[in-house]
Structure 1
């Protein structure tokens, strides 16, 4: 039905949907009735649909659009909702306010695509198909990582990015705020993190290789204010999205060490913010001043970000500096560790315990989670077999497999694709068909998968247009699978996506065009 009915081609696909026949007309006299507790969803509907469609959607106790909290829908969970559109009225119900926010996005998609863009409409009215929908997500964590450390993006763009996530019912923005190439989070206790660490003199252009590493001559800089970040958190929350901050440690810290070299293993050495991509050998030391720094930074992070999850990185941490440092070797021996390399797990465990003491759940990148305490939620980036090992060990896991969710890989082998992370393409179908928790896993293992997310690392991504070209429509595929589940509906997804691109067009998203190559490529088979 959705493939042949553009007005019912919803993305992600609802759990249950049936056409009732007929249409509901919205015009300038259409009002909204929000029952107690539903006011935030009514405000969101009014702010998203009103200006674009030219409809005031004024509040009224007689409104034909009714939004209500209904405890009888408790079985739909925090994000589920029920929507009935009849020829005279629209009723949106949910047990939780977040469910109403998800339903608002469905109402947006039921409108003609022009209603998303503010396109002129002489009659001042819009029609919705009459339909009944019951909808509930498959996975509780459906996210997208945006790396603003390698290439900074102003706050107004992050707000647009959040709006696009919300349209697709994604609910986590993982904000990668610090790395070797830049520090974007202000920390009052350590002001040089942004006055020094937020600026690099130049940037590598293209992949590194013998005799072909190139640099531009343009300084790159940028940092947010705490007021901006709090505003982002508030804006995202109004759309049912949690902002999960990431502060990298103990590796990926060259920008921090450029600002405060005394935190490193060679405090006498003066460093610049790194201008290359790849893995930097420079890491934090393990003396007590380092842990005081980490605690102070994370206290300020927690003050800005109320997310129950705080990501502290942890991946790609070469231990050569610890192995050659007398102080680090002495610390490893004092802690009863086998060798300096074991300081990595010890370091992560100590910082993780600090977050747990403050009521937060630490998140870390890991191959299998064996180096992280069980308090950590593991973000498994390699493949499903490593995620399964972490789940078996007892971790909650977010599946973020690099060969299926990293959007900085090219989308095809076509010559017109932009410069990207070296590696085979991650195609649209690859993203749509992959299983975060394959069916052959045990029920206990599958239950430990919180969800999945896409990653957009921005070494080679310099503009908003490039972000959206690389993200869409692949992020549509991840949103569809993580909300709707059910591998095997590739033809149905393609049919709905063809109609969904009209919405992306209306919103000015410069997505990668659909072509035979992107719609027919076989999926990548991830090890289970």
Structure 2
């Protein structure tokens, strides 16, 4: 009996001892964005309730922030055993730079401003277990690897954009988003607040903006390209009160994030015109837009409109202390202005040449007003049309051409081209990805972005302030979907903006992203995990074709089959490129020693008669959409019918092109077919026409050039097919492709050059 009693007491004692918090060992330094100088040292620092804080009063705001984090883990921090020292160091010239020195008895943070000290703290947080950030860590102490970091950002502007007009998100989510920007050392939150589909900010002088402009009657179901358009029949909307806006701005300021509001003008203003029809050119009632796209009802260039916008901006300026105010300026069709008496009178009275110069007048007038209030404007690169407002900063999204033009004219530039910065594009080519606007922007392409266009010299490059990722939310109805599209690509944007090019390394970055996933898990962020997916590609050598498989993560096996069956742990391990001599269906997946980690990769290869042939194009594809080069058009692989930016699609902007395929010798063929992308919302149109001709080895015409007709293939693709009744002999196949031209009024992208996207040319 006594034995049993003593046994129970011993068990309880052991149980109580096991409840004691344990110390957490130091974790490997895997910081995002990568510091520009990091040296690992021997030893560790023990962070605990005994750690003492010493600081210079200039850095006290950051010390208070750090205290709040530490207190949530260890309780009140009153110890004396070791030290974290915050040192104000005015010898550090860049206010965002810092030095972090971790030694066994002391951590020293040097900075010349609270902002620099704050970024040092964010680095320090990433040296701690992920659970530290949300206060869920249960421990008596945390060991931190000794190291020395000297760090500063590459660019002064490091931004993320969020559109809340198409879909709106709660204030708590906006704060969560800002927390992550701060962790990643991003300093700007571009809040896109007004659109055709909704007005999201309270303006007290104009209550109909809240009553009418903030709500649409219904919302488009499915993709814009789906025809006929379907709607959900449900009223949607809302707005942020001025008190809520103040709350967000204050929250961001505490984390050294500047909030820049965007109030769209003169285009993307249909919601405001729905509330106040007199602001439009016709004066007629319109509805808040219920589908996506560009609309012809834009602000009229009359005094009443300018009075309205100045009143709106007066209230906006009271809420946002930012140096910059974004005024949009993009996608403003001139259709209404061309037939508007008020606009034509304005053109005449101001001595303007046309409606494009009227847009410049509109933007310049609003800029002067904001300059008079001590602020500067940012606009999308369309503000270059008709001349650039004197002090404007250009946000270049239609490639880099606008940025180059602006920088060469001495204007500041923020880079955000669709090709590398639009996070509403698909990030994987797997079929089960959630619906997105289109395009293809994988993590590696985001990471590869260099915000300095190669056309700029060293002096002109100084006008590039940095870059920004954009999240347009037509197809993101929930917070979880926003996070899925943002992460982990936002990590790449953070490193593009912070880390010097010579210190970037994609393989190392992928390792850090894989580690960072645990941090995202703890913070309850719904990220996309494509690290265990496989990339494949065809290569040709001396007339022979091979297929290569790669994956992002190291230390794992790729196993594959060639007969279309699912790969298993018993399947062949990929070690070198696979010879391709016939049509096959490859399936592959990433495995560790126990199980499959990622999704199964599938690639069908159509080994037709042009695979491995010689191909030339008389124009280079646009540098943003080079695909796999010309050879990618005859590699036996067809691109996605929903992601025109993948490596199988070649994009040309406004160019007529001529393609010649040399089969190497005369061959017997019967048909030639190819496919073009059609996504008018992204300014991609099928060509104005395509001709195909055939020549023999002596360059004699076998068949004269014939105009081919287009046939719809899917909702996004149209094809042509030259199919002759009998076999014939040819060596050279020549395509002459006429670009759609300048997009006319009334169509998506009006006034801009159309894109041509072409995929696999199949010869049988």
**Shift in CA distance, 59/387, structure 1 to aligned 2, threshold 3 Å:** farther
Please state if 1:526 is matched with 2:624.
Answer: yes
2:466, 2:497 within 8 Å by CA — same for their partners in 1? yes
1:165-195 CA-to-partner distances (Å, cap 9, x unmatched) read: 1111111000000001111111111111112
Query: Do the aligned partners of residues 132 and 328 (structure 1) sit closer, same or farther apart at CA in structure 2, a change above 3 Å counting?
Result: same
Q: Classify the secondary structure of the residue corresponding to 2:438.
A: coil
Q: Distance in 1 between matches of 2:98 and 2:278?
A: 53
Match runs of 1:184-263 below 5 Å: 184-209=200-225, 211-263=227-279
Is the contact made by 1:112 and 1:127 (CA closer than 8 Å) also made in structure 2? no
1:10 and 2:31 matched: yes
Q: Is the 8 A contact 2:360 2:383 kept in 1?
A: no
Matches within 5 A, 1:468-483: 468-483=483-498
Deviation at 1:342, TM superposition (A): 2.5
Decide whether aligned partners of structure 1 residues 69 and 257 sit closer, same or farther in structure 2, where only a CA change above 3 A counts: same
Contact 2:299/2:305 (CA < 8 Å) preserved in 1?
yes
User: Root-mean-square deviation (CA), in Å?
Assistant: 2.1
Answer 1 or 2: which has greater strand percent. 2
* Structure 2 partner of 1:452: 467
Cα distance per residue 1:427-477 (max 9 Å; x no partner): 101110011114553001211100000000001111111111100110000
2:99 is equivalent to residue 99 of structure 1: no
Residue 37 (structure 2) pairs with residue 37 (structure 1): no
CA distance in 2, matches of 1:146, 1:49: 31
What secondary structure is seen at the aligned counterpart in 2 of 1:452? strand
- Residue ranges of structure 2 left out of the alignment (5+ in a row): 1-25, 536-549, 553-621, 627-764
Could you say which structure has the greater relative contact order, defined with CA pairs below 8 angstroms and 6 or more residues apart? Answer: 1
Q: Which residue of 2 aligns with 1:305?
A: 320
Q: Quick check: 2:483–2:527 contact (8 Å CA) kept in 1? A: yes
- What does the per-residue CA deviation read over 1:85-142, in whole Å, with 9 as the maximum and x for residues that have no partner? 1111211110111101111111110101222243342x42212111111110000001
Secondary structure of 1:137's counterpart equals: coil
Q: What TM-score do the two structures reach when normalised by structure 2?
A: 0.65
1:139 aligns with 2:127: no
Partner of 1:180: 196
Partner of 1:279: helix, strand, or coil?
coil
Q: Any conservation in 2 of the 1:49–1:116 contact (CA below 8 Å)?
A: no
CA drift of 1:485 comes to 2.5
- Aligned partners of 1:472, 1:88: CA distance in 2, in Å? 37
Structure-1 separation of matches of 2:149 and 2:269: 48
SS at match of 1:174: strand
Answer yes or no: is the 8 Å Cα contact 1:201–1:220 preserved in 2. yes
Instruction: Work out the CA distance in 2 between the residues paired with 1:182 and 1:61.
Output: 56
Q: Identify the structure with the greater helix proportion.
A: 1
1:148 to 158, 164, 173: 164
Number of the residue aligned with 2:680: none
Name the CA distance, whole Å, in 2 between partners of 1:322 and 1:59.
68
The change in CA–CA distance for 1:517 and 1:291 in structure 2 (over 3 A counts) is farther
1:66 counterpart (80, 85, 104): 85
Whether the 8 Å contact between 1:186 and 1:223 is mirrored in structure 2 is yes
Aligned positions of 1:419-438 closer than 5 A: 419-423=435-439, 425-438=440-453
- Single out whichever of 507-516 and 345-354 deviates more from structure 2: 507-516
Q: Between Structure 1 and Structure 2, how many residues are aligned?
A: 515
What SS does the aligned partner of 1:31 have? Answer: strand
2: distance between equivalents of 1:260 and 1:368?
Answer: 25
Q: Secondary structure at the match of 2:32?
A: coil
Task: Tell me which residue corresponds to 1:46.
Answer: 67
CA distance change for structure 1 residues 57 and 455 in 2, over 3 Å: closer, same or farther? farther
**How big is the shift at 1:58?**
3.2
Query: 1 CA distance for matches of 2:425 and 2:625?
Result: 19
Q: Give me the whole-angstrom Cα distance separating, in 1, the residues matched to 2:267 and 2:207.
A: 20
Partner of 1:389: 405
The 5 Å alignment of 1:406-425 reads: 406-423=422-439, 425=440
Q: Distance in 1 between matches of 2:202 and 2:328?
A: 18
Q: How far apart are the structure 1 equivalents of 2:507 and 2:443?
A: 12
Could you say if the C-alpha distance between residues 234 and 198 of structure 1 is closer, same or farther in structure 2, counting changes exceeding 3 Å?
same
Alpha-carbon separation, structure 2, partners of 1:449 and 1:527 = 22
Q: Of residues 329, 332, 345 in structure 2, which corresponds to 1:330?
A: 345
Q: Which residue of 1 aligns with 2:43?
A: 22
| Alpha-carbon contact 1:384-1:527 (below 8 Å) kept | no
The structural deviation recorded for 1:70 is 1.1
Residue 210 of structure 1 deviates from its aligned partner by: 5.9
Q: Secondary structure at the match of 1:495?
A: helix
**Deviation (angstroms), 1:231:** 1.4
Q: Structure 2 vs 1, CA of residues 236 and 181 (structure 1 numbering), >3 Å: closer, same or farther?
A: same
Displacement of 1:59 in angstroms is: 6.8
Distance, in Å, in 2 between the alignment partners of 1:387 and 1:59 is 53
- Higher Cα radius of gyration: 2
Secondary structure of the corresponding residue to residue 72 of structure 1: coil
Which of 285, 292, 308 is 1:277 aligned to?
A: 292
More off after superposition, 469-478 vs 19-28: 19-28
Report the 3-state secondary structure (helix = DSSP H, G, I; strand = E; otherwise coil) of the residue aligned with 2:85: strand
**How far off is 1:368 after superposition?**
7.7
Q: 1:345 to 1:60 in 2, by over 3 A?
A: farther
Deviation at 1:310, TM superposition (A): 0.4
SS in structure 1 at match of 2:447: helix
- Give the equivalent residue in structure 2 for 1:119: 136
CA distance in 1, matches of 2:276, 2:551: 51
Instruction: Determine whether 1:441 maps to 2:456.
Output: yes
Structure 2 residue corresponding to 1:503, chosen from 486, 503, 519: 519
- Equivalent-residue separation in structure 2 for 1:317 and 1:104 (angstroms): 44
SS of the residue corresponding to residue 459 of structure 2 reads helix
